[in-house]
């Protein structure tokens, strides 16, 4: 899974962010399954995926506020 910088995420549309959010949530689920069965070697990837999900949610919230005003 490709991790993106915040600057790159800011330029994405709302639909692209929704798609990324769905992909990263699925990826996080897979990572957790691998970690529970001791197949995951880089557990830091879980933290990075959670961070990316939080950034996307933050941007989506901001875009929704922009639409309201």
Nearest-angstrom CA–CA distance, 20 and 38: 26
Nearest-angstrom CA–CA distance, 32 and 54: 17
What is the model's pTM? 0.87
Give the pLDDT of residue 65.
Answer: 86
* Per-residue pLDDT tens listing for the chain (69 residues): 667 788 898 999 999 999 999 999 999 999 999 999 999 999 999 999 999 999 999 999 998 888 887
> ∠ CA 11-12-15 to the nearest 5 degrees?
160
Give the pLDDT of residue 59.
Answer: 95
Give the pLDDT of residue 68.
Answer: 84
């Amino acid at each position: 899974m490709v991790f993106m910088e915040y600057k790159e995420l800011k330029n994405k549309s709302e639909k692209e962010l929704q798609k990324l959010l769905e992909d990263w949530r699925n990826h996080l689920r897979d990572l957790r399954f691998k970690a529970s069965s001791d197949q995951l070697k880089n557990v830091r990837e879980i933290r990075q995926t959670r961070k990316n999900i939080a950034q996307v949610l933050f941007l989506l919230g901001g875009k929704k506020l922009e639409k309201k005003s």
